[in-house]
Amino acid sequence: MIKGKILVVDDNPNVCSAIEMLLQEEFEKIDIIHSPKNLLNRIEKEEFDTILLDMNFTSGQKNGNEGLFWLSKIIETNPSISVIMVTAYGDVELAVKALKLGAIDFVLKPWENEKLVATVLSAVKLSKSKKEITSLKDTERILRNELKKEPCLFIGKSPEFLKVMNLIRKVAATDANVLITGENGTGKELIARELHRLSHRYNQLMVTVDMGAVSETLFESELFGHTKGAFTDARDDRSGKFEAANNGTLFLDEIGNLPLPLQSKLLVAIQNRAVTRLGSNKSIPIDIRLISATNRNLNSMIIDGQFREDLFFRINTIHIEIPPLRQRIEDIPDLAGFFIKKYSSKYGKEGLSLTPNTIDKLITYQWPGNVRELQHTIEKAVILCDGKSLTPNDFLLKPISSETLYSIPETFEEMEKVMIIKAIDKNRGNLTAAAEQLGIARQTFYNKLKKYNIS
């Protein structure tokens, strides 16, 4: 039996019964309607591959205009459906009109059974090909955007970084919804990509949506898709990001920026695992791995009434918090080395390196923009440097003032923290000199920087 859904539209019950008996052994589903009045509503709610459409429905009519009218409506509503015109009156001119309007064939009553089955079979294959082409075009468009993005970068040996990587390996093999949180520039999208790469969906698409960049007016079209004519510029049917990610991963970045009225629509799609294109009533099932990310505190937003608690629970089966760069200072030298190598090659300045004093300066900086800021800072330094080594003077970073950070210490730990910051300031960011001044080993000094979150 061929996987094809056929709709027969004819006002003659005997004709409908004959076609149904002939085709039901060949195709998985045959539906019958005797009037075209509900035709459009039917094809909007249900997916059909082929429609056998009678040319005349009003008694006494033989010119075929009714059939041509409904043919044009079908093509306008869903151009992927293959339409076969059926009539008892053979007219070459009428057949030509129907073909020009978009019908794929013309069948005369009475028909030859084998010929009718072959015609319907060809129509079903054509319809499926049209749908595949449309889907491939949408997938290709999204894939081109995904391929423009840089590959994953995971460099680090700090305990905080290794903890995150261990959690990723545990979670990736499941289909659990994941919420990734962290400051801007910490690499939330990279984490999402690693989750996808390690999952059983790795050979399917990961589709990214920046929720903060999707306007309220285009939200449903962008995520759920639209049909032709759903709004002014909807010239063709188009699948949304949910459909494009089917069998793969959907990454909703900056989900905390989604306006409250749109959160309920997103929640319904996630709960039902189905979407309805804008301008259609047909529900389309989807199978996705959902990953979301935000730099905002969703718990506080829930308390303030800015984020739905039920949506939060839906997206937050597993929570991955990415530590800021200032909390993983052991990773800064390796990250800096990677970026120097990358941009030295890009700008034709091979052989560039960091001096020890430069590394010390990078380690003591707060990096409010995290890894992204480090990357851009090093790119700028590589472009502007004249020598073979990047010195502290090549990095114009805002110094940390101990006077603005701390008042009079009240505990031993606060006092130690102030002493460390003063030593760094006095030695102009030279960590080796600061450690020597305090009389402690360099590694111990780094451990204390981490302990007190000094950056």
Is there a single domain that holds both residue 299 and residue 346? no
The DSSP-derived string for 264-311 is HHHHHHHHHTEEE-BT---EEE---EEEEEESS-HHHHHHTTSS-HHH
Is there a single domain that holds both residue 313 and residue 191? yes
Confidence at residue 406, expressed as pLDDT on a 0 to 100 scale: 42
Is there a single domain that holds both residue 197 and residue 171? yes
Is there a single domain that holds both residue 287 and residue 419? no
Is there a single domain that holds both residue 102 and residue 173? no
Is there a single domain that holds both residue 275 and residue 195? yes
Q: Is 142 helix (H, G, I), strand (E, B) or coil?
A: helix
Residue 139 domain-assigned (yes or no): no
The encoded tokens of residue 108 equal 């005369």
Domain closes at, from 288, 303, 321: 321
Confidence at residue 92, expressed as pLDDT on a 0 to 100 scale: 72
| Backbone φ and ψ of 337, nearest 5° | -65, -40
The DSSP-derived string for 236-267 is S-B--HHHHTTTSEEEEETGGGS-HHHHHHHH
The encoded tokens of residue 429 equal 């960011």
CATH of the domain at 6: 3.40.50.2300
Between these two residues, 64 and 83, which has the higher pLDDT value? 83
Highest-confidence segment of 130-144, 346-360, 395-409: 346-360
- The number of distinct structural domains making up the chain is 4
Checking if the pLDDT of 285 tops 90, the result is yes
Checking if the pLDDT of 132 tops 90, the result is no
Distance CA 399, CA 397 (A): 6
CA distances to 81, 179, 348, 380 from 372, in Å: 48, 20, 22, 12
331 lies in which domain range? 325-392
Confidence at residue 314, expressed as pLDDT on a 0 to 100 scale: 96
CATH of the domain at 354: 1.10.8.60
Residue 359 domain-assigned (yes or no): yes
List pLDDT tens digits, range 355-395: 999 999 999 899 999 999 999 999 999 998 888 899 998 88
Is there a contact between 352 and 337 (Cβ–Cβ < 8 Å)?
Answer: no
Is residue 62 very low, low, confident or very high in pLDDT (cuts 50, 70, 90)?
Answer: confident
DSSP-derived pairing of the beta strands 283-285 and 274-276 = antiparallel
The encoded tokens of residue 59 equal 């008694």
Distance CA 359, CA 374 (A): 12
Checking if the pLDDT of 204 tops 50, the result is yes
Distance CA 49, CA 31 (A): 12
Residue 152 domain-assigned (yes or no): no
Distance CA 93, CA 103 (A): 14
Is there a single domain that holds both residue 381 and residue 450? no
Is there a single domain that holds both residue 184 and residue 300? yes
Residue 232 domain-assigned (yes or no): yes
Residues 361-383 as b/e (b if ≥16 CB within 10 A, e otherwise) read bbbbbbbebbbebbbebbbebbe
Is there a single domain that holds both residue 217 and residue 306? yes
Q: Is 322 helix (H, G, I), strand (E, B) or coil?
A: coil
Is there a single domain that holds both residue 6 and residue 46? yes
Is there a contact between 26 and 51 (Cβ–Cβ < 8 Å)?
Answer: no
What's the helix, strand, coil split of the chain in %, to 5?
Answer: 50, 15, 35
List pLDDT tens digits, range 286-331: 999 999 999 999 998 998 899 999 999 999 999 999 999 999 999 9
The encoded tokens of residue 441 equal 């080993």
Residue 416 half-sphere exposure toward CB, CA atoms < 13 A: 15
CA-CA-CA-CA dihedral for 97, 100, 103, 109, to nearest 10: 30
Residue 336 domain-assigned (yes or no): yes
Is there a single domain that holds both residue 358 and residue 370? yes
Is there a single domain that holds both residue 163 and residue 262? yes
Nearest to 52 by CA among 94, 14, 23: 23
pTM listed for this prediction? 0.61
List pLDDT tens digits, range 218-239: 898 999 988 877 787 777 778 8
Nearest to 293 by CA among 246, 250, 260, 340: 250
CATH of the domain at 403: 1.10.10.60
Residue 144 domain-assigned (yes or no): no
Task: Report the chain's mean pLDDT, rounded to a whole number.
Answer: 86
Distance CA 380, CA 339 (A): 11
Domain closes at, from 371, 392, 413: 392
Is residue 402 very low, low, confident or very high in pLDDT (cuts 50, 70, 90)?
Answer: very low
Domain closes at, from 266, 292, 321: 321
